[in-house]
Amino acid sequence: MRVAMWYNNRDVRSEEMPIPEIGPDEMLLRVVASGLCGSDGLEWYRLHRAPLVLGHEVAGEIVEVGSAVTKYREGDRVSVAHHVPCNTCRYCLSDHHSCCATLQSTNFFPGGFSEYIRVPALNVDRGTFRLPDHVSYEDATFVEPLACVYRGLRKAKVRPGQSVLVIGCGISAQLMIMTARAMGAGRIIAMDNIPFRLDMALRNGADAIIDSEEHALDRLKELNHGRLVDRVIINRPLISLALKAVEKGGTILFFAGAEDPTEKIEIPWNDIFWRTEVTLISSYAGPPVDSESALSLIAAERVPVNSMITHRLPLAELGRGIEMLTHPWEHESMKIVIECQR
């Protein structure tokens, strides 16, 4: 089978590997579509394991099931999660699935940017989701990232009528805007310095935009009836602005990793923690319950994900896709889907 083998962001090679053999509790998936995630462009996060096959936002058709698999059959159209939690440890039982050691160690093989993957037993048991007939494979590649987004908003306790500021308008932020709108959020304001991203944010449900850090707080208050916001979602490194933009009693959600793993932040203690009751939270990944919610939002078209796909590329052009991912302002790229059977 063909795979896109990643050595670094400037060296992605089309190579051949044997089709994986499966065990009695496993499945073989023919990958039809696989989405590019922002983390696929973070070299520091991957380079120590190179060469490897990236890709974890997958959808495809089951072509073989092990003798002990009873929940699925050949021909089923599914989305498959790469990370799944144990659901029994102290972290899972307290809704901190991201901290579960099992979640951090599970994966399918070899990776989503290939023609076939082996789905391990645990992923078969709790990380495989059958697609409704009307949900396309490319739309189903959004199940994993939307599950992460939905979990973040759920943990941030976004409620109807609340004001929300989304800082940084990449793909996760666009999903944040759409999902917050579906959850009934009040005024949603998006901030970025890339014009096409701000245009897309408006199309995806933002009420207003801020295009510069300069005078951002004054502009924020103008757009939000003289107030700061109830919820701030930070996707880019404007931490100091996020700390100043949140209303008393509000919450800041730190979502996604930093581009520089050594980056540190300073927090003005009294301004944030003394008599303001501001909550700082983080979120990572999406356990099965959030994946099921994400698929429901997609199936019901409450979150119309297809509008965010800007590029569709064959497997052999993954290197070009990573270039678009890491330089979006040059290519006006948002969501890039790799068509693995093309």
> Which pLDDT value is given to residue 235?
79
Query: Burial level of 122, CB count in 10 A (0-12/13-18/19+)?
Result: middle
Q: Which residues of 6-37 are buried (b: 16+ CB within 10 A; e: fewer)?
A: beebeebeeeeeeebebeebbbbbbbbbbbbb
Residue type at 266 in one-letter notation: E
User: What distances in angstroms separate CA 328 from CA 7, 27, 99, 323, one per listed residue?
Assistant: 21, 36, 31, 8
CATH number, position 247: 3.40.50.720
- Whether 292 is covered by a domain: the verdict is no
- Gap between the Cα atoms of 197 and 74, Å rounded: 40
- Whether 175 is covered by a domain: the verdict is yes
Dihedral pair phi/psi, residue 192, rounded to 5°: -165, 170
- Whether 296 is covered by a domain: the verdict is no
> Which pLDDT value is given to residue 237?
66
Residues 176/149, Cβ–Cβ less than 8 Å = yes
Neighbours of 200 (CB within 10 A): 23
> Which pLDDT value is given to residue 266?
82
Same domain, 313 and 335: yes
CATH number, position 127: 3.90.180.10
- Whether 293 is covered by a domain: the verdict is no
Same domain, 166 and 103: no
Token match 């009695």: residue? 24
Catalogue the E-assigned strands of 76-228. 77-80, 116-119, 128-130, 164-167, 188-191, 208-210
Same domain, 221 and 104: no
Q: How confident is the model at residue 103 (pLDDT cuts 50, 70, 90)?
A: very high
> Which pLDDT value is given to residue 175?
97
Same domain, 77 and 7: yes
- Gap between the Cα atoms of 67 and 194, Å rounded: 51
User: With 70 as the cut, is the pLDDT of residue 236 above it?
Assistant: no
- Whether 288 is covered by a domain: the verdict is no
| Selected residue with higher pLDDT from 270 and 219 | 219
> Which pLDDT value is given to residue 19?
98
Same domain, 9 and 104: yes
- Whether 41 is covered by a domain: the verdict is yes
In sequence order, the 6+-apart residues with CB closer than 8 A to the CB of 64 are: 22, 27, 28, 74
Quote the domain boundaries for residue 170: 149-283
User: With 90 as the cut, is the pLDDT of residue 263 above it?
Assistant: no
Q: How confident is the model at residue 240 (pLDDT cuts 50, 70, 90)?
A: confident
- Whether 186 is covered by a domain: the verdict is yes
Kindly state the average pLDDT of the residues 262-273. Answer: 81
Domain count, the chain: 2
Same domain, 204 and 257: yes
Same domain, 135 and 157: no
* Segment among 220-234, 237-251, 324-338 with least mean pLDDT: 237-251
Same domain, 136 and 216: no
- Establish how many alpha carbons lie within 13 A of residue 330's alpha carbon, considering only the half-sphere containing its beta carbon: 8
Tens of pLDDT, residue by residue over 31-45, are 999 999 999 998 988
Kindly state the average pLDDT of the residues 24-29. Answer: 98
Identify the domain boundary among 255, 283, 311.
283
Residue 150: alpha-carbon gap to chain centroid:
9
Residue 322: alpha-carbon gap to chain centroid:
16
Closest CA to 302 of 156, 64, 171, 142: 142
Same domain, 31 and 159: no
Enter the pTM of the model: 0.95
Same domain, 21 and 124: yes
User: With 70 as the cut, is the pLDDT of residue 46 above it?
Assistant: yes
Same domain, 95 and 162: no
- Whether 290 is covered by a domain: the verdict is no
- Gap between the Cα atoms of 281 and 267, Å rounded: 14
Same domain, 134 and 165: no
User: With 80 as the cut, is the pLDDT of residue 47 above it?
Assistant: yes
> Which pLDDT value is given to residue 271?
79
